[in-house]
Every structure is written in structure tokens, then in C-alpha cells.
């Protein structure tokens, strides 16, 4: 009996050395500053206002890298390009072929209108001759055979004009179809060429860039990041039970773990009331101007929130005076 009592005393002593073991997540984020005065303290981390992955859009060998880690790069500027001489030659040849088709279309059109003008003039002459011979035939001054020959000539010229138009349309459609096919191929090749030239998705600083000339890169692989550190976002997790005491626009104090030490005051810019499964907490965000770039991606911070007196009383009563819940859950819900 004495041995069991002694073991119990040791157990109580150990628990007293580690008081946080019995605390709720909410109590771990509450700090007593007086008898019933409470502050909410959250662990935070600095993230760039924008951090965008640089993704290889095509598999190939890097020919040239134009920037290095830490360089500022504007949106759309080329970071690196793959070897693509053969592709560039194919594209140029296709462009030349398309230009030649355009010239053929113009030439075909000019020849058509020229031939049509000549044929139309001959048809007018033949029609005039036919009308004259028909008039002479009506006055018994021309034979029926002469009329038939004039009619044959007139209708033959009309058929020839129609053939010229049909041939022109057939040739035009053939050239247009050829051009469409070559344009489709050109578009595919230009997309391949564009994918072999990696441009910056945003303006910012290059970070974690790991490509070099001669390197083989694989489509879809992440080869670096572009960070915008002019503004940063402090992200901090909050226990669900404290959500009602934290609001957008609420003033906070932030102590950053930097050298030299840096602290500031700001307002909460966003509250996300959905628990992040990675940290088991809801999230708040505080956007800040990053003066002198002292705040970097991953810089740690302590965010302090001072609730109103009324809220402090509620917090104290709920988390320190309410006691244990009398509800007992026995079922195993899956």
C-alpha cells in the first residue's frame, strides 16, 4: 500500500513539472499577465506575399540560364531556355512555306481576274456578233449555219469563263487548305518552342533556382521559385476555441525572431475558420510591408493579441474556472 502511495506521489510530482501536458490547445495559447488578465500568444511564420513555383514546361537540355538566385526579375523575362536549334529551323522553314502560299494565292487571284476580264470582253464581242448575225438572218442576209456558229462561239466562251472560275476556286481552296495545315503545325511547333523558354510568372526575386547550362530537365519538375518580398504575410495558427475572440482588423503585436530584434504592430488581414490538417489549427494572416527586407521566408514570430476586458473575463471563466466537462463519450465513431 505504501509503495502504491509513493508511486502516486511521484506521478503527481512529474505532472507538476510538465503543466502543459494537461492543458487544452486553447490554454496553451493563453498567457496570464495578472490575476484574471489574459493575452493570446500565437506562434507565427513569415511567408512572401507571393511565392510562385518555376515549373519546367518541357523536357530537354538547358542551353542558357539568364539569371541567378537572388536576382530581381520582371514578369515575362526569360529565366532559361532549352536547346532548340532544330525546332527553330523547322519553324522558320514553315514560315517560309506559308509566305510562299500567300504569294501563290495573290498570284492565283491576279491571274484569275486578268483572265476573267479578257474572257468577259470576248463574250461581249461574241454576243454583239451573235445579235448582228441573228438580225441579218431575220432579214435573209445571213444563213442559219452562220447563226449556229456564232451561238457556238458565244456559249463556248461562257463555258470557258466558268471553267476559269472553277479552276480558280479549286486552286484557291487547295492553297488555303495547305496553309491551314501548315499553320496548325506551326502553332504546335511554336508552343513547343515557347515551352522550351521558361519565363518568370511574376516580378520578384529568384530563390532556389537549380538549373545550369547542359543540365537535363524533366517536364513538370520544379526548378525554383520567384518570391515577392516587398510585402510579407505572417501566418499563425489559432486553436478553434479562440476563434470567437479573434477578428479581421483586430490589432496585434508581433515580435520577430530576427537579428537585430524587430517588433511591430499591425492588424489582422484575414481569418481562416477552417482547421488546417497540417497544423491542426485555424489560421490568421497579417500582411506587412517588408522594410529593409529583414523578414524572410520562414522567419519565426510571436503574435500577441490582447482581448477586451470583457473577453478576458469570458476566457478566464471558461478555461480556468469552468472545470472538467461532465459529458463522457463511450461510443467509437469512425
Domain boundary among 217, 247, 268: 217
State whether 246 and 312 are in the same domain: yes
State whether 177 and 116 are in the same domain: yes
Query: What's the pLDDT score for residue 319?
Result: 83
Answer for the pair 70, 225: CB distance below 8 angstroms, yes or no. no
CA–CA–CA angle 30, 34, 36 (5° rounding): 70
Express each pLDDT in 53-80 by its tens digit. 999 998 989 999 999 999 999 999 999 9
CATH of the domain at 60: 2.40.50.100
Query: What's the pLDDT score for residue 326?
Result: 52
Cα distance between residue 331 and residue 173, in whole Å: 77
Domain assignment of residue 333, yes or no: no
Residue 318 half-sphere exposure, CB side, CA atoms within 13 Å?
15
Cα distance between residue 198 and residue 84, in whole Å: 13
Please state, in angstroms and as integers, the Cα–Cα distance from residue 5 to each residue in 8, 10, 14, 18, 84, following that order: 5, 9, 14, 20, 81
Query: What's the pLDDT score for residue 7?
Result: 46
Low-confidence ranges of the chain (pLDDT < 50): 2, 4-21
State whether 191 and 94 are in the same domain: yes
Domain assignment of residue 166, yes or no: yes
Q: Report the number of distinct structural domains present in the chain.
A: 3
283: Cβ contacts below 8 Å, ≥ 6 apart: 235, 236, 237, 238, 271, 272, 276
Residue 160: count of CB within 10 angstroms of its CB: 14
Domain assignment of residue 330, yes or no: no
State whether 171 and 251 are in the same domain: no
Cα distance between residue 330 and residue 334, in whole Å: 13
Whole-prediction pTM value?
A: 0.62
Q: Which helix (H) or strand (E) holds 213?
A: none
State whether 60 and 92 are in the same domain: no
State whether 99 and 40 are in the same domain: no
Cα distance between residue 124 and residue 201, in whole Å: 66
Domain assignment of residue 245, yes or no: yes
Domain assignment of residue 334, yes or no: no
State whether 76 and 210 are in the same domain: yes
Q: Are strands 60-65 and 216-217 parallel, antiparallel or unpaired?
A: antiparallel
CATH of the domain at 267: 2.40.30.170
State whether 75 and 90 are in the same domain: no
Domain assignment of residue 77, yes or no: yes
For the four alpha carbons of 174, 178, 181 and 184, in that order, the dihedral sign comes to negative
Domain, as residue range, for 268: 23-50+228-321
State whether 212 and 172 are in the same domain: no
Domain assignment of residue 91, yes or no: yes
Answer for the pair 249, 271: CB distance below 8 angstroms, yes or no. no
Express each pLDDT in 133-142 by its tens digit. 999 989 999 8
Q: What are phi and psi of 308, to 5 degrees?
A: -65, 165
Domain assignment of residue 289, yes or no: yes
State whether 211 and 269 are in the same domain: no
State whether 30 and 102 are in the same domain: no
State whether 104 and 138 are in the same domain: yes
Amino acid at each position: 500500500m505504501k509503495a502504491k502511495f509513493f508511486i502516486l506521489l511521484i506521478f503527481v510530482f512529474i505532472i507538476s513539472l510538465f503543466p502543459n501536458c494537461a492543458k487544452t490547445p486553447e490554454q496553451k495559447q493563453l498567457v496570464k499577465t495578472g490575476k484574471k488578465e489574459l493575452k493570446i500568444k500565437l506562434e507565427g511564420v513569415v511567408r512572401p506575399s507571393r511565392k510562385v513555383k518555376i515549373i519546367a514546361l518541357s523536357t530537354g537540355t538547358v542551353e542558357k540560364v539568364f539569371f541567378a538566385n537572388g536576382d530581381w526579375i520582371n514578369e515575362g523575362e526569360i529565366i532559361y531556355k532549352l536547346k532548340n536549334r532544330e525546332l527553330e529551323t523547322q519553324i522558320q522553314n514553315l514560315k517560309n512555306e506559308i509566305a510562299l502560299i500567300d504569294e501563290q494565292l495573290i498570284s492565283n487571284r491576279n491571274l484569275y481576274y486578268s483572265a476573267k476580264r479578257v474572257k468577259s470582253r470576248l463574250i461581249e464581242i461574241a454576243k454583239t456578233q451573235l445579235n448582228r448575225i441573228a438580225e441579218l438572218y431575220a432579214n435573209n442576209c445571213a444563213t442559219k449555219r452562220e447563226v449556229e456558229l456564232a451561238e457556238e462561239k458565244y456559249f463556248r466562251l461562257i463555258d470557258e469563263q466558268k471553267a476559269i472560275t472553277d479552276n480558280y476556286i479549286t486552286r484557291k481552296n487547295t492553297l488555303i487548305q495547305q496553309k491551314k495545315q501548315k499553320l496548325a503545325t506551326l502553332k504546335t511547333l511554336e508552343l513547343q518552342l515557347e515551352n522550351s523558354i521558361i519565363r518568370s510568372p511574376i516580378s520578384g526575386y529568384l530563390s532556389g533556382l537549380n538549373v545550369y547550362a547542359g543540365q537535363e530537365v524533366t517536364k513538370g519538375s520544379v526548378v525554383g521559385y520567384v518570391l515577392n518580398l516587398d510585402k510579407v504575410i505572417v501566418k499563425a495558427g489559432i486553436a478553434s476555441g479562440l476563434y470567437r475572440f479573434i477578428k479581421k482588423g483586430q490589432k496585434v503585436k508581433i515580435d520577430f525572431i530576427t537579428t537585430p530584434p524587430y517588433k511591430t504592430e499591425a492588424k489582422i488581414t484575414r481569418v481562416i475558420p477552417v482547421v488546417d490538417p497540417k497544423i491542426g489549427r485555424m489560421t490568421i494572416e497579417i500582411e506587412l510591408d517588408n522594410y529593409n527586407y529583414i523578414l524572410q521566408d520562414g522567419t519565426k514570430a510571436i503574435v500577441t493579441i490582447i482581448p477586451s476586458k470583457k473577453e478576458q473575463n469570458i476566457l478566464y471563466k471558461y478555461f480556468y474556472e469552468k472545470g472538467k466537462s461532465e459529458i463522457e463519450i463511450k461510443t467509437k465513431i469512425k
